[in-house]
Structure 1
Amino acid sequence: MNNSNELTVALLMDDLEAAREVSQVFRLVGVIPHLFQNLEEFWKGVMDGSSSFALVDVKAMNQGNLLFKDHPMIRSGKISTAFWYTEATQALTYSTFDIPNLGLVRKGVSLKGQIKTVLRLFNEQNKLRTENKNLKIESERFDRQIDQLIERVEQDKQINAYHEKLIKLEEQIDSLKKCADFNTAVETLADGWEDVKEFASFELSSTGQKLVSPKLGGKKFREIPSLWLGKTCARGIEFFAQNMASQVTLDLMGGDIMALSVRGIYENPDRLVFFKVKNDEFMNMFAWDSLERALSGLHLYFEQRDRGESLRADGVISPWDLLGKLDDYLFGVNPAEAARGNNNKEKLALIDIDFGDLVETVRRYKTVRFQWPNFYRDFFAKLKQTKLNNFTVTAMGVSHIGLLVDHDGLDGTLKTLQAFAGRFPYWKYFEDVDLVLGQSLKPKVKMVPLSSIGYLNQIDQAKLETSVLEKAAAKVKVNDQKNEVVIPAQSRPWRSAPSQDM
């Protein structure tokens, strides 16, 4: 392929004498023309683009079905053209009018002058072509720059849009500090997050040997089975456990899942939260690392808050003091106390929290450890974070806790306490959480009359009811054993797991 700025000449003429004269002129400028004596030879010879200029005899512009003007190199303008004619063929020059050309060269007139003029036009044409080519290159470069600028602007718009989403989420996360705990906060966040389809969560069990998916509510929560780790994670969820949780969650929830490590005081995370999003763009564009830091901060807030809200001594009274207060309401304050100014003018109410079902479950699973002190501390520390923040606790044994609360707003207090007791994660304090994860362990919460005898009678009545239920259950169990039909081992269609005395 010839460079279009370099002059290479093709002659299409059958008059060899005329071709020799023209060639001599071109040789003066250092160009040796290539001669084609008919259109068919020319058609094939210049198809490779080796010629940039053609001087064509008007007699040779057609041959059979071939027309000079239809040649691809002529139609595309890649070969500049001038036409040769004689006095005898002047009438044929009309056929050149619809072909772009650099002019006519006539035999018998000064060839040098005519060819010089044609070459000047050729050079001007090449100059314009070069300028146009450079302008086109420059225009394409500008177009690319404009496209890049538009793309950058669109990317900036996307980044700004996702940044605004992050800011809104961080503002919402700040407002979630009012929630009862971290799990409730994440549930609330996910339910109101339109870009998230599902979410799941893992945390370590109290022994550090199992990853547990808390049993949350919410329309987007996805419960994942607990995972035995095979070793103890004493300082957060170790890397192998993170991989295990990620693989199981991916298998159950599918793709487009982002795993966030929620960290506390250890280098390893305390929790793992998985969000399944609606599209790949959101997955790739959203600032997940910023959200991860925000959730870690929220987690630390709840940890510090609950740790600082442990029951103080002034929030706890002994059963004897509680019964004495109840007698003061029934019989009035004794004269000595009245003389010292203790007239007991407060308007209080008594609420009993009956943990009988929880305690019975702990008894039933004898070999499973229950975290008694952690449960007691966390239950009332978290209770103080609700609207019910002014109460006095009395432990009437492990099964019954008495709360003295303000009488004002009693209906709201009772509803708040019942709602809190219904959502508290009791399963978390069992060593093997899977045994109790699906059970209802919430306590009975009810009003108690302000009477020491009345409260004691109610506790005794609850114990009696529990005893009757236990005896009935034991009797049913004995009858079932008597009526049991033993099938020989070789004829059993299935094999059961060995039973354990729990």
Structure 2
Amino acid sequence: MLAEGKVSVALLLSDLNEVKEISSVFKKLGVIPHFYEDLKTFWSGTLERLPALCIVDVKKMSEGELVLRDHPAVIAEEMPLLFYYTDKTEPLLVSTHNFFHLGTLKQSANYEGPLKAILKRLNKVASLEQHYHMLKMTTVAQKEQIERLELALREEERADNYQSMVKSVCLEFEKLRLETDFFKSLEKVFHGVDEIEEFAFLELSFNGQKLISPISHLQKFRNIPSLWLGQACTHGIELFAQNMATQVAVDIMGGDLVSLLIKGSESKPDKMIFIKSKNETFFNNFDWHMLEAYLNGFYASFKNKLTAPIETNRKFSSSFEALSYLDQFLFGQTANEAQQNKLTQDMRLVDLDLSSLMQVVMRKGTNRFFWNRFMSEFINKLEIQTRTDFRFFEFGVGNIGFVVKANDLDVFFDQLKEFSGRFQYWKYFEDSEGVLAQLIQPKVTMSPMSAHAYLTKILEIESELKGAITKPAKEAKKAWSFVEPKTSLDM
């Protein structure tokens, strides 16, 4: 390699006599070394062009702030270094132990033998590097070819797999059987399906007069504005409403949409799902009919849980019964109470303050709130979510008391706080758009097991609420004064 005359050699030595001796050996091989007097010029020269061999005196490894080990080529282990030393400078070789280098060259009367051995090693390394680069290029070319073949194979397999892919999607839904909300389950599963670019969701409002879209911060979800239907759909989404929803979805999301109709107990659907695919293969080959059939059953299980009557042993018959129960822990049981029920467990009382919801209800006096449905679904969803044994009672409409075992208190308290904080209260207003921007923040607190203590807490809350809603209540009353009764009774 050196005989071709294309290789450069750099010398950074302090003894000019040794420079001449070493240079003479290279000249015989047809190479004229380039001599550098200091580290600074060596640094600059080797940055412009990296020599095939650099012979550096161990005394020249640093100069002012410059240190050889900081040279970019040294750091990258690309500089072919050979360290020159004498008997006096041999101790300095310890500083070269952390370097990548080709060896050392000791001061000698005859450099030809040692240099030939070093050059032979250098040629071998260069040959191996060239062979490595050729293999690397070949490997890269082969890898690209394999990737192209794999891509073509995956495309063929994908068309076949889409038919069975629906099974894995359904299995993901099965993992969410204990979720409290059908739409939340859709969010979680569809988020994990890469082929789904975006989706939209519309459901019939409680009064059947419009289609509404839930709140979601998922990037794949496309919100569709509420659609007033002009007439109530009392038995599910009628065909005219389905056509209206489809047209709006196409305008917002574009064409090539899949529409899934989700039915409850009625013959017509309660909900509509629109899905946009990332690619045509998925759109054409995925078994959408099977997914729709599965989701109908999946939704039915949710609906059955939410519409199921609240178990009688879950709820105190009245606030009076609940307060009497609390006083048993403070004053002890009467003879009759002891006969009916022995207090064998340590219980705790947790209060849910819904004052912020009541304030919104009062401010929106002409916006109907579905009280009974809210309470039923709130308790049923809470029971599914917490899976903790509890009893509850309503104190007015602004507070709900929960009695739980002392061992379950910490878990139930945190779960109730999280659940009530993210509950979709807006769904239970007839005009949901007017409520979306309202801040509803229920408060979850502990209360002693005492009627007096609980009443004291509630009366303080009611006093605050009364002051907050006095003005809105008066304004709302004006709207009600114009409402004529639908029926009249002869007295």
Using structure 2 for the length normalisation, give the TM-score.
Answer: 0.61
Q: Which residue of 2 aligns with 1:236?
A: 236
Whole-Å separation in 1 of the counterparts to 2:408 and 2:301: 29
- Asked if the contact 1:173–1:294 (Cα under 8 Å) also holds between the matched residues in 2, the reply is no
Contact 1:388–1:416 under 8 Å retained in 2 = no
Report the equivalent of 2:59.
none
Does the CA contact (< 8 Å) of 1:256 and 1:278 recur in 2? no
Aligned to 2:324: 324
Farther off after superposition, 417-426 or 397-406 = 417-426
Deviations along 1:144-202, whole A, 9 cap, x unmatched?
A: xxxxxxxxx99984443113321100111222211112111111111222211222110
Alignment of 1:393-472 (within 5 A): 393-470=392-469
Once residues 448 and 326 of structure 1 are traced to their aligned partners in structure 2, the CA distance between those partners, rounded to angstroms, is: 10
Matched, 1:264 2:274: no
Q: Per-residue CA shift, 1:78-105, capped at 9, x if unaligned?
A: xxxxxxxxxxxxxxxxxxxxxxxxxxxx
- Residue by residue over 1:439-477, the C-alpha shift from the partner in whole angstroms, topping out at 9 and shown as x without a partner, is 2335222222222111101101111222333469899x9
2:280 and 2:252 map into 1 onto residues whose CA distance is 19
2:363: which partner in 1?
Answer: 364
2:382 maps to: 383
**Aligned mates of 1:209, 1:434 — CA distance in 2:** 14
Contact in 1 for aligned 2:392/2:400 (Cα 8 Å):
yes
Instruction: State how far apart, in whole Å, the 1-side matches of 2:366 and 2:427 are.
Output: 16
Secondary structure of the structure 2 residue equivalent to 1:369: coil
Question: Are residues 334 and 474 of structure 1, via their aligned partners in 2, closer, same or farther at CA, if it must alter by over 3 Å?
Answer: closer
Could you say which residue in structure 2 is the equivalent of 1:169? 169
Unmatched segments (≥5 aa) in structure 2:
1-152, 481-491
**Does the Cα contact within 8 Å between 1:183 and 1:216 map onto a contact in 2?**
no
Check the 8 A contact 2:447/2:454 in 1, yes or no.
yes
Q: Is the 8 A contact 1:188 1:218 kept in 2?
A: no
Q: Which residue of structure 1 lines up, in the alignment, with residue 278 of structure 2?
A: 278
Q: Matches of 1:186 and 1:337 in 2, distance apart?
A: 48
Secondary structure at 2:230 match in 1: coil
SS at match of 1:224: coil
| AA partner of residue 401 (structure 1) | I
Q: 8 Å contact 1:350–1:450 — kept in the other structure?
A: yes
2: CA distance, partners of 1:209 / 1:337: 50
Write the distance in 2 (CA, Å) between the matches of 1:361 and 1:415: 25
Question: Are the counterparts in 1 of residues 365 and 473 from structure 2 also a CA contact under 8 Å?
Answer: no
CA distance 1:159–1:343, shift in 2 (3 Å): same
TM superposition shift of 1:217: 4.0
Shift of 1:312: 2.0
Q: Say if 1:211 and 1:341 are closer, same or farther in 2 by CA, change over 3 A.
A: closer
Normalising by structure 1, we get a TM-score of: 0.60
Over 3 Å counting, the alpha-carbon distance change for 1:351 and 1:175 in structure 2 is same
Give the stretch that moved more between structures: 361-370 or 168-177.
Answer: 361-370
After the TM superposition, which of the residue ranges 395-404 and 429-438 deviates more from structure 2?
Answer: 429-438
Aligned partner of 1:181 in structure 2 is 181
> Closer, same or farther in 2 for the Cα pair 1:337/1:206, shift >3 Å?
closer
Gaps of 5+ in 1: 1-152, 478-499
Query: 1:273 and 1:474, CA in 2 relative to 1: closer, same or farther beyond 3 A?
Result: closer
2:292 maps to 292
1:199 alignment partner, SS class = strand
Is 2:394–2:401's contact at 8 Å kept on the other side of the alignment?
A: yes
Contact 1:350/1:449, CA 8 A, preserved across alignment: yes
1:275 to 1:442, Cα distance in 2 relative to 1, 3 A = farther
SS at match of 1:304: helix
Contact 1:388 1:417 in 2 (8 A): no
Hey, what's the Cα distance between the residues in 1 that align with 2:393 and 2:401?
5
Three-state SS of the structure 2 residue aligned to 1:408 is: helix
- Secondary structure of the 1:409 match is helix
Q: Distance in 2 between matches of 1:357 and 1:388?
A: 26
Q: State the AA in 2 paired with 1:440.
A: L
SS in 2 for 1:463: helix
In the alignment, residue 270 of structure 2 is paired with which amino acid?
D
Letter in 2 for 1:188: K
What are the superposed Cα offsets for residues 126-151 of structure 1, whole Å, 9 maximum, x if unpaired? xxxxxxxxxxxxxxxxxxxxxxxxxx
- 316-325 or 289-298: bigger deviation: 316-325
The AA in structure 2 aligned to 1:415 is D
Aligned residue runs from structure 1 range 32-431, under 5 A: 157-308=157-308, 310-317=309-316, 318-334=318-334, 337-338=337-338, 340=339, 342-431=341-430
AA matched with 2:444: V
Q: What amino acid sits opposite 1:231 in the alignment?
A: Q
Q: Is the 8 A contact 1:213 1:225 kept in 2?
A: yes
Distance 1:324 1:428, change over 3 A: same
**CA separation in 1, counterparts of 2:450 and 2:443?**
19
Q: Is the 8 A contact 2:206 2:430 kept in 1?
A: yes
Q: Which amino acid aligns with 2:218?
A: G
SS at match of 1:198: strand
Separation in 1, partners of 2:192, 2:461 = 42
Q: Matched residues in 2 for 1:474 and 1:396: separation? A: 20
Q: Residue 237 of structure 1 contacts residue 268 of structure 1 at CA under 8 Å; is this kept in 2?
A: yes
CA drift at 1:357: 2.0
Following superposition, the deviation at residue 322 of structure 1 comes to 1.7
Q: Is the 8 A contact 1:237 1:269 kept in 2?
A: yes
Rg larger in structure: 1
1:289-315 superposed Cα distances (whole Å, 9 cap, x missing partner)? 11111111111111122223x212221
Q: State the alpha-carbon separation in 2 of the partners of residues 212 and 233 from structure 1.
A: 13
Paired AA for residue 299 in structure 1: Y
Contact 2:202 2:273 in 1 (8 A): yes
Amino acid at match of 1:194: D
- Residue pair 1:204, 1:210 contacting (<8 A) in 2 also: yes
- Cα distance 1:471–1:396, how it changes in 2: closer, same or farther (>3 A)? closer
Q: Structure 1 residues 418 and 218, CA, compared in 2 at 3 Å: closer, same or farther?
A: farther
